[in-house]
Amino acid sequence: IMNLLWEQSPQTFTQLFDALKADTGWAKGTVFTMLERMEEKGAVRIETSGRSKLYSPLWEKEQAVGHETESFLSRVYGG
């Protein structure tokens, strides 16, 4: 999801879902849940534009890689 947003943003849910469906096979609920979690973590901004929501990245790619590396190491090695 973040790679799609880094390539082009903002994007609507439909744009993201359509791009992910072929590669991942994820259901709409899965994509929606992922986007909500990413917003809660401060990685994605959601703006309402009329009836649709626009998604944009708040993290730079390098910042996201560092965050995920720390998270992985914390889970694997217990901090």
Tell which residue, 65, 56, 60, has the closest CA to residue 16: 56
pLDDT per residue as tens digits for the range 38-73: 999 999 999 998 888 999 999 998 887 887 888 888
Measured distance CA(63)–CA(57) in Å, rounded = 11
Average pLDDT over residues 71-78: 85
- The whole-number pLDDT of residue 53 equals 92
Q: What's the pLDDT score for residue 79?
A: 64
User: Tokens 């390098």 — which residue?
Assistant: 62
The Cβ-side half-sphere exposure at 54, using a 13 Å CA radius, reads 8
Q: What percent of the chain has pLDDT over 90?
A: 65
Average of per-residue pLDDT values in the chain? 91
